[in-house]
Structure 1
């Protein structure tokens, strides 16, 4: 699989490689995401029995990362969940998983007072990152969330605070007017930058290539509040819980860097070997960090981290914003 850079990302690569990159505020079109709506009186009850996160925690403007698993505990979809009201919950996920999510959840929703909808066309999704992100959004929309992981409504628009300098916005009817207000004060970018920022935040996601490949723990979901081990039953819960209570995790998701070619990135699921050619892990997602380098999240055997290779390229271990416990109880 070859991922070609957009014009916006090509220009941004040179910017990323300069000392003042972090002083830039960037605007990103998040059309690589889609939205699934779970709607009806039983929306929350239905999802509570299907996903790894505790849907009850979505009250009071909180979002949660989470996943739907198969009966073997392998992730079918990953998402960020947001509850609009008592009968409407939105799941934001990679667009390549929308149809799979509708089919996967659809098998179980038939006995619930709830329905599934593709709500991708209801919102224009953008991201804004950088030191001026908060002030620009406040000027354009009149409000921003105070806490990381929380969301607020600005009319029909939705603003999610991912971290101190990064926001995700789902814009409704007058989206173009909001974008026109933000654009003169920002640098245009595309999917590569947003993926890079997710990588640096240690937030992995399932994509079509990694469907049914990873357990939630393989993507460190136990470390980013995307699994609640006390919430009760859901599909695949027995396997996920068994890893937690009876096992010891010997592999985790790590951030790595490697030399990049002109336009080739390893797709999700690409195998990582050690120097002896033994498979020791898999790529979760990758992005360019400058014209010569790329970064990725990869699930790797802990003890093999120092001897990880992607083909002929030696992988360098980089830090994450959260600690990975050694000898962690799974």
Structure 2
């Protein structure tokens, strides 16, 4: 009941997806990122996290996997200047759609749309990375990010839209 082929998710490739109910309506959407190796992160809207965990918990009992909320911070970067900034800061910056490049501190994924990246940052490094990035850029709002998502054709399921849409209506 997910829209993602998890075989396509690797340390180098992320995938956008969603989980649908029996009627085919999306309950939540996510970005699947493998980081560190053998650990799958589903980046989900915070307001839908508890519901997503309770749904996934029903299936996890049949596998060797575990559900947890890692001590990881999520940052979204929007703007052409970040390509050079990420290269200078980390020595790498993914350029292909859904490409993920990681090290021990951070995982960076190139998203749909113009100059968009998603960073997963281990908590112990987040203050330093945030300070360095925010000193060289403008801090936007969640609404700025949502608008960029929509412009890129990447519409997330939010609390107000849960169970309203079928996957094909949101390009999943």
SS of equivalent to 2:19? strand
Structure with the bigger percentage of helix: 2
Contact 1:79 1:91 in 2 (8 A): yes
The partner residue of 2:24 within 52, 73, 77 is 73
Number of the residue aligned with 2:91: 142
SS of equivalent to 1:91? strand
Larger Cα Rg: Structure 1 or Structure 2? Answer: 1
Q: Does 1:182 align with 2:137?
A: no
Runs of 4+ in 1 over 2 A off after TM superposition: 84-87
Number of the residue aligned with 1:130: 79
* Runs of at least 5 residues in structure 1 that lack an aligned partner in the other structure: 1-49, 222-330
The partner residue of 1:210 within 154, 158, 161 is 161
Number of the residue aligned with 1:89: 40
Alpha-carbon offset, residue 85 of structure 1 = 5.6
The partner residue of 2:120 within 157, 170, 193 is 170
- Compare relative contact order (CA 8 Å, sep 6+) and give the higher one, 1 or 2: 2
CA distance in structure 2 between the aligned counterparts of 1:146 and 1:211, rounded to whole angstroms: 31
Which TM-score applies when normalising by structure 1? 0.49
Q: Does 1:157 align with 2:106?
A: yes
Contact 2:9 2:33 in 1 (8 A): yes
Contact 2:21 2:163 in 1 (8 A): yes
User: Structure 1 residues 90, 211: closer, same or farther in 2, change over 3 A?
Assistant: same
Number of the residue aligned with 1:42: none
CA distance in structure 2 between the aligned counterparts of 1:51 and 1:182, rounded to whole angstroms: 34
SS of equivalent to 2:33? strand
User: Structure 1 residues 66, 186: closer, same or farther in 2, change over 3 A?
Assistant: same
SS of equivalent to 2:68? strand
SS of equivalent to 1:196? helix
Number of the residue aligned with 2:2: 51
Give the alignment of 1:203-242 within 5 angstroms. Answer: 203-221=154-172
CA distance in structure 1 between the aligned counterparts of 2:153 and 2:21, rounded to whole angstroms: 24
Contact 1:64 1:149 in 2 (8 A): yes
Alpha-carbon offset, residue 55 of structure 1 = 0.6
Alpha-carbon offset, residue 206 of structure 1 = 0.9
Structure with the bigger percentage of strand: 1
CA distance in structure 1 between the aligned counterparts of 2:107 and 2:125, rounded to whole angstroms: 13
The partner residue of 1:201 within 149, 152, 157 is 152
